[in-house]
């Protein structure tokens, strides 16, 4: 029984809640009591008798070598094993023990249990947390196993702890940040995509920044212990506001919750905060953790429903897309249609054009002066429409040139002009704006050539080419735009790029709807372009060095790459952009851009991250190069545009 629905959206794995159980030979009864009666969706159950040790098995005969620790695989159907059981690897194993016998037993047992789980078609196994800060042999064995796994996920259990001055507990020796434990383990396992994290959420929590790091890691489950729960005024279990925020944040990242521990709240005869239970079921027969499950379901259901825009963007979350090549390629009708649906963008353009028209022509001259406006890169006409609506709104006379190089879009433009009766106002020009010889100069130049990184679709080069037919006192909309970057943890994106197993993909910038990421530091400006540009030393090449400081309470963090954004000034105070601190609300034309690193860089607490970005220009192409110089130097990515470039 799932947790419920969130505003009609129930595609997330987070709807499903599991329970951690003890070893039970009678697995069908275990499932029945926890799933059918308890309302849970799956169990995290040991696959092996906890008393089994390979060294205790007599090896006097071949028969004794048969696995003695598991029952028949026939007690459940393959679909039940796959859907309802997460295997829990024996918690006693210690592959880095000083005791040779324990270490050998641990290695044999780990491999036996994973092999058995694979045979059962189990989708995931929970690995116990390393016993101390040294985990090289444990990681070596897990890495060996990962090389032969097909689809199974391995969840490494890691406590959500980062102490400042306090000790974290005996089981982690004196390590004061459990993220370090995870980072050490996954580096030893080469960032394997099938190795994930199961976070143990405890009663005490680290800082918000420290927790935020995990949102960019491959967290698949959150194990919430019953001792995390407080008691509300009516005697029911509840969570503190900070715990609630963590759980709902994890829900948003498709992390499944697993409840663990003994019941600490006993309310015979009482109903739950959110009832998922048949009223005919006697409260005394209910699962001992049912009150906790009901509260988790309550948290899930009370979350804000996804907006229509978020529902549309669901399929694009963390999906790598190649950036557009607007000069080399002609856009397809579907691409135009997606852009044209973004009414917010065109409302902003209309506002900018209105202000420009009012500044250009005073009220006394409104009936006599005709403003010449050129839309360069007119597409299928949304900016033409916005300009004419602005003219109507301001009562100004307008003459429009719609310049478009895509012959297919020009066909649509001709149909639009005829349909709307704009023949006497709009002139269609089928030509590249850089090659067109305009019959007259423009008062206002309007374009929508901006990419996710501002200049990455060659707006500077295009507008520099079109600037020759703009009057000396003419207005460009947009008048300027700035790119921004920020370092991010993005384990999924990194593994998706890594899966291609080549250099080219690590040196390509991708358009991505960023979701499962951790933003490690506020974004900083990179390159700015202003139009019109009458500088005597005109060059669109740029270089910027940036220094990022990660908050000290965050702890160490892994940088997988950089998120890129832009903010544009259309005209005066009319802005348009996706930079996180000042995005245009409800606009969906642009996703962020992602610049990956070939080798992720671990930044220690208090260490600055020094980053270098170049915008390079050649006779036929424009490209970016980037690198990290501190704390650990990285190679310069995309040298000479060898992997990724935008054609002129």
Residue ranges of the binding site for S-adenosyl-L-methionine: 336, 345-346, 404, 432-433
- For residue 516, what are its two tokens? 């499962």
Read off the tokens for 76. Answer: 């459940």
Alpha-carbon torsion (49, 72, 220, 241), positive or negative: negative
Binding annotation? 336, 345-346, 404, 432-433
- Per the CB < 8 A criterion, the answer to whether 464 and 433 are in contact is no
Structure tokens at 135: 């985990």
On the question of a cis peptide bond just before residue 101, with omega within 30 degrees of 0, the verdict is: no
Counting other chains too, the contacts that 261-266 makes at CB distance below 8 Å and 24 or more residues apart are 261/20, 261/225, 261/226, 261/227, 261/289, 262/226, 262/288, 263/226, 263/288, 263/289, 263/291, 263/292, 264/226, 264/227, 264/229, 264/237, 265/229, 265/231, 265/235, 265/236, 265/237, 265/291, 265/292
CA 408/CA 431 separation, integer angstroms: 12
Write out 65-86 in H/E/C secondary structure. Answer: HCCCCCCCHHHCCHHHHHHHEE
Calpha distance 246→205 (Å, rounded): 10
- What's the length of the chain? 648
Q: How many CB atoms lie within 10 A of CB 623?
A: 22
Pairing of strands 85-88, 124-127: parallel
Rounded CA separation 419/426 (Å): 12
Q: End-to-end alpha-carbon separation of the chain, Å?
A: 56
Task: Please report, for the chain, how many H helices and E strands are present, in that order.
Answer: 16, 26
Residues taking part in catalysis: 448, 457
**Could you give the 3-state DSSP secondary structure of residue 330?**
coil
Contacts 24+ apart (CB under 8 A), 166-175: 171/129, 171/131, 171/132, 172/129, 172/132, 172/133, 173/132, 173/133, 174/133, 175/132, 175/133
CA distances from 360 to 344, 356, 534 (A): 24, 6, 20
Query: How far is Cα 490 from Cα 494, in angstroms, rounded to an integer?
Result: 6
Query: What are the φ/ψ torsions at residue 558 (nearest 5 degrees)?
Result: -100, 125
| HSE-up of residue 454 (Cα within 13 Å, Cβ side) | 30
């Amino acid at each position: 029984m799932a947790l419920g629905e969130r505003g009609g959206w129930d595609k997330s794995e987070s709807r499903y809640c599991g329970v951690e159980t003890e070893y039970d030979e009678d697995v069908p009864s275990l499932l029945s009591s926890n799933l059918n009666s308890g309302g849970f969706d799956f169990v995290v159950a040991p696959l092996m008798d906890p008393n089994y040790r390979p060294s205790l098995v007599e090896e006097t005969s071949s028969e004794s070598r048969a696995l003695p620790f598991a029952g028949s695989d026939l007690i459940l159907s393959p679909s039940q094993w796959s859907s309802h059981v997460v295997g829990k690897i024996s918690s006693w194993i210690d592959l880095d023990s000083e005791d040779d016998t324990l270490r050998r037993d641990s290695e044999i047992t780990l491999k036996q249990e994973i092999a058995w789980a694979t045979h059962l078609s189990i989708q995931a196994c929970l690995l116990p947390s390393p016993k101390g800060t040294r985990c090289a042999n444990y990681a070596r064995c897990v890495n060996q196993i990962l090389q032969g796994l097909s689809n199974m996920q391995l969840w490494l259990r890691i406590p959500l702890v980062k102490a400042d001055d306090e000790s974290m507990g005996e089981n982690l020796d004196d390590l004061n940040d459990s993220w370090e434990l995870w980072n050490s383990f996954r580096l030893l396992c080469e960032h394997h995509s099938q190795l994930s994290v199961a976070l143990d959420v405890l009663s005490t929590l680290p800082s918000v920044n420290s927790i935020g790091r995990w949102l960019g890691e491959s967290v698949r489950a959150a194990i919430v212990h019953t001792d995390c729960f407080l008691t509300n005024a009516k005697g029911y279990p509840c969570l503190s506001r900070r715990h609630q925020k963590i759980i709902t944040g994890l829900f948003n990242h498709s992390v499944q919750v697993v409840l663990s521990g003994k019941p600490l709240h006993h309310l015979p005869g009482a109903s739950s905060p959110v009832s998922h239970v048949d009223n005919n079921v006697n409260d005394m027969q209910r699962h001992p953790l049912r009150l906790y499950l009901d509260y988790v379901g309550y948290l899930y259901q009370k979350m804000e429903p996804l907006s229509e825009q978020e529902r549309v963007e669901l399929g694009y979350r963390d999906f790598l897309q190649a950036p557009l090549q607007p000069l080399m390629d002609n856009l397809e009708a579907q691409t135009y249609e997606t852009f044209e649906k973004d009414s917010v963008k065109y409302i902003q353009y209309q506002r900018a054009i209105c202000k420009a028209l009012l500044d250009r022509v005073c009220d006394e001259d409104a009936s006599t002066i005709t403003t010449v406006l050129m839309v360069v890169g007119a597409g299928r006409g949304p900016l033409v429409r916005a300009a004419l609506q602005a003219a109507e709104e301001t009562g100004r006379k307008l003459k429009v040139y719609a310049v478009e190089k895509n012959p297919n879009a020009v066909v649509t433009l001709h149909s639009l002009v005829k349909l709307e009766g704009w023949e006497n106002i709009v002139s269609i020009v089928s030509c590249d704006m850089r090659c067109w010889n305009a019959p007259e100069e423009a008062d206002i130049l309007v374009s929508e050539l901006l990419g996710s990184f501002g200049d990455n679709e060659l707006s500077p080069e295009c507008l520099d080419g079109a600037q020759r037919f703009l009057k000396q006192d003419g207005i460009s909309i947009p008048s300027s735009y700035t790119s921004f970057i920020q370092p991010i943890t993005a384990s999924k994106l990194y593994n998706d790029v890594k899966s291609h197993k080549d250099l080219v993909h690590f040196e390509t910038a991708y358009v991505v709807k960023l979701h499962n990421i951790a933003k490690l530091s506020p974004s900083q400006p990179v390159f700015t372009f202003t139009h019109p540009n009458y500088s005597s030393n005109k060059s669109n090449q740029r270089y910027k060095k940036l220094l990022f400081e990660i908050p000290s309470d965050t702890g160490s963090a892994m940088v997988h790459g950089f998120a890129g954004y832009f903010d544009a000034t259309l005209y005066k105070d009319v802005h348009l952009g996706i930079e996180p601190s000042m995005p245009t609300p409800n606009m969906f034309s642009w996703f962020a851009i992602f610049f990956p690193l070939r080798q992720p860089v671990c930044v220690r607490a208090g260490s600055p991250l020094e980053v270098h970005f170049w915008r390079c220009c050649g006779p036929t192409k424009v490209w970016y190069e980037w690198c990290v110089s501190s704390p650990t130097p990285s190679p310069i990515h995309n040298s000479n545009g060898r992997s990724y470039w935008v054609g002129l």
